[in-house]
Amino acid sequence: MNAPPRTDNTPRTDSAAPPDRPRPRSLSDLFVSFTLLALQGFGGVLAIVQREVVDRKGWLTQDEFIEDWAVAQIMPGPNVVNLSLMIGGRYFGFAGAMAALAGLLTVPLMLVLALVVLHDRFADSAAVAGALHGMAAVCAGLIGAAGLRLVNAFKKSPMPLSWCVAISAAGFILVAFLKCPLAWVLSGLGGLGCILTYRRLKA
């Protein structure tokens, strides 16, 4: 697959990527690699992807990984799923994207269904219900922490910090308390954020 034409002058450490650099050998190599990768990731697999694909397999350089990750975040869909589509697609086109995606989802899906069947069998147990209850509390914390981590993005935003916080706060109130449909909030407040950012980027 040819590298896309570069339209900017930012330096790139891999500009002379060696032709013999590692790459997935086949569709089944992609499928197996992403299956193994998914099975290592509890509570999200993004950190694992970086370690496996960049550090161990060398399919992507660190720079390529960061760029691909940025695109994966812009696109709808889970970041790690998007990243797998991009990596698989780069080497084997659409078939590669599907192989990577299938690897990421198939075995973990079967595992999680086995887990829920097991859970339903013991659902009457107060201890099991309590354990799930406790895990839900931790997950609420986890998701909140994921949000707080992203607050760093405010520093890089062309918008003033106060605008970012105001949009976030308004979004939180609309969704958490007023139960507004997501489509309105995304197109309204999200659109407002994009327009404000666009205007500030010009300056």
Partner 1 sequence: MTAPLHLTLDWADWLNLFGHFLTLSMMSVGGAISTTSEMHRFLVDQHHWLTQDQFNQSIALAQAAPGPNVLFVALMGWHVGMNAGSTAAALFGVLVTMVGIMTPSTIITYTAARWGHRNRELRAVRAFKQGMAPIVIALLLSTAWIMASSAAAGTGTVRDVLAHWPLWLTVVVSGLVIWRTRIHLLWLLAAGAVLGALGLI
- In the region spanning residues 153 to 182, those forming contacts with partner 1, defined by CB under 8 A, are 153-154, 156-159, 163-165, 167-172, 175-177, 179, 181-182
- Using the minimum distance from each CB to partner 1, give the nearer residue, 17 or 112: 112
CA atoms within 13 A of residue 75's CA, in its CB half-sphere: 16
Among 22, 58, 130, 160, binds partner 1 (CB under 8 A): 130
At 125 the three-state DSSP class reads coil
Closer Cβ to partner 1, 4 or 20, answer by number:
4
Q: Decide if residue 13 touches partner 1 (CB under 8 A).
A: no
Residues 55-74 that bind partner 1 (CB under 8 A): 67-68, 70-74
Among 11, 19, 20, 127, binds partner 1 (CB under 8 A): 127
Note whether 57 and 91 are within 8 A (CB).
no
By the rule CB under 8 A, 142 interacts with partner 1: yes
Structure tokens at 75: 């696109």
- The single-letter code of the amino acid at 73 is Q
Give the separation between CA 64 and CA 69, rounded to whole angstroms: 8
Is residue 40 near partner 1 by the rule CB under 8 A? yes
Residue 155's CB is within 10 A of a number of other CB atoms, namely 8
Nearer to partner 1 among residue 51 and residue 133 (C-beta): 133
As given in the structure block, the two tokens for residue 27 are: 């569709």
Minimum Å gap between C-beta 183 and partner 1 is 6
In terms of Cα–Cα distance, which of 81, 111, 110, 113 is closest to 98?
A: 81
